[in-house]
Amino acid sequence: MTHKSNSLAHYCNVVANRIRPYIWFLPNILTAWWWGVNLGSKSRFFGKTVFRTEPNSIISIGKNCRFNSSHRSNLIGVYSPCMVSTIARNAEIHIGDNCGFSGTVIGAALSIKLGDNVRCGANTMITDSDWHSDDPRIGKNAPVVIEDNVWLGYGVKVLKGVHIGENSVIGAGSIVTRDIPANVVAAGNPCKVIRYI
């Protein structure tokens, strides 16, 4: 490829990236409205985000949040769209301002709360439930809290009953089954503190 054609390809890509959020804005806004999602201003969508709510449940999303749901929206690889859903009556999901999601699944049967500036890397999952409510072997649902400025790396799974303190970074591929304090780097399966920031 010549330098000229390379520059043209780059220019076309920049233009396409600026247009894509507007193409997906209306379908996602309508879907959020249909499911009763309280969506803050200046939300941006790259691809189709899935919203679902059970009766008497709440999904509240702050302003200036970004949802990367298409395969091209994050070059590290997004395997599924962002999915934000309540999976039981009276469940609540509260997401703060300036949060970012890439193929992230958030499913609440009880309560999930994310603070401001939470960054969820590609293919992350946050849930407060074991999901199989018809199986007697599962335990009780337990709320999840993720405080401000937390960064979940690629493929992180945050499971029920977990509280992650502010400013902490969770390493790629970690399974978080216990509380993580503020201002740490933590990683592993199960996730443990590696060092303090």
What residues are labeled active site?
132
**Of the candidates 160, 183, 182, 155, the residue with the CA atom closest to the CA atom of residue 171:** 155
Q: Which residues pair with 170 in a beta bridge?
A: 152, 186
Q: Residue type for 174, please?
A: S
Calpha distance 108→101 (Å, rounded): 16
Residue 95 to residues 40, 80, 81, 193, Cα–Cα distance (Å): 10, 20, 17, 25
Q: Tokens 């400025």 belong to which residue?
A: 149
Q: At 100, give phi and psi (nearest 5°).
A: -130, 140
Calpha distance 52→58 (Å, rounded): 10
Q: Residue type for 172, please?
A: A
